[in-house]
Amino acid sequence: MADAGYGARSEEALERSLYGTRAYAPWRSLDPGRGAEVENRYACLPATDKRLIRAAFPDGLVPAGRDLAEGLRKGEVEFIATSGTTDERVINLWNQKWWDFSERESWKLNSHTARVCTGQHREAILTSARNVGVVSDSRALSFEERRLGRFLFLNEQSSPVLWDERILRRMADELDRYRPEVLEANPSYLARFSRALSRLGIQPRQPDVIVLTYENPSLLHLREIRQVFQAPVLSSYGSTETGYAFMQCEEGSFHLNDSACRADFAQLGGAEAGIGRLRLTPFGNEWVALLRFDPGDIVRLRRSGPCTCGRNGALILESVEGRGKSLTRDPAGRPITQGELDRVLAAEGSLSVYQLIQEGPGVYRLRCEVEEAGGRGVEDRVKDLLRHLYGPSARVHVEICPVLEPEASGKYLLAKSLIPGEATVARESGF
For 216-248, how does the pLDDT look when each residue is reduced to its tens digit (9 = 90+)?
999 999 999 999 999 999 999 999 999 999 999
CA distance 340 to 327: 10
> CB under 8 Å, gap of 24 or more: what pairs does 357-360 form?
357/415, 357/416, 357/417, 357/418, 358/328, 358/329, 358/415, 358/416, 358/417, 358/418, 358/419, 359/418, 360/418, 360/419
Superfamily holding 327-426: ANL, C-terminal domain (3.30.300.30)
Q: Using pLDDT thresholds of 50, 70 and 90, give the confidence band for residue 86.
A: very low
CA distance 111 to 113: 6
Q: Give CATH for domain 108-235.
A: 3.40.50
Residue whose C-alpha is closest to residue 330's, from 413, 389, 289: 389
For domain 4-102+240-325, the question of CATH label 2.40.30.10 is answered with no
Domain pair 108-235 / 327-426, same fold: no
CA distance 415 to 297: 13
> Residue 84: what pLDDT?
55
For 282-322, how does the pLDDT look when each residue is reduced to its tens digit (9 = 90+)?
999 999 999 999 999 999 999 988 999 999 888 999 999 99
Of these ranges, 127-131, 361-365, 407-411, the one predicted with the greatest mean pLDDT is: 361-365
Q: Where in the chain are the domains?
A: 4-102+240-325, 108-235, 327-426
Q: Using pLDDT thresholds of 50, 70 and 90, give the confidence band for residue 193.
A: very high
Containing 105, the helix (H) or strand (E) segment is: helix 96-107
Residue 153: phi, psi to the nearest 5?
-90, 110
CA distance 381 to 160: 28
Specify which residues 277 forms β-bridges with.
266, 298
The one-letter amino acid code at 418 reads L
195 contacts: CB under 8 Å, gap ≥ 6? 224, 352
Q: Using pLDDT thresholds of 50, 70 and 90, give the confidence band for residue 422.
A: low
393 DSSP assignment? T
The angle formed by the CA atoms of residues 372, 377 and 379, to the nearest 5 degrees, is: 90
> Do residues 248 and 225 touch, judged by C-beta distance below 8 A?
no
For 96-116, how does the pLDDT look when each residue is reduced to its tens digit (9 = 90+)?
999 999 999 999 999 999 999
The one-letter amino acid code at 21 reads T
Is 80 exceeded by the pLDDT of residue 375? no
> Residue 212: what pLDDT?
98
> Residue 376: what pLDDT?
73
> Do residues 339 and 320 touch, judged by C-beta distance below 8 A?
yes
Residue whose C-alpha is closest to residue 184's, from 145, 135, 238: 238
Q: What is the mean pLDDT of residues 162-178?
A: 97
| Burial status of residue 286 (CB atoms within 10 A of its CB: 0-12, 13-18, 19 or more) | middle
CA distance 353 to 413: 10
> Residue 425: what pLDDT?
37
Specify which residues 43 forms β-bridges with.
none
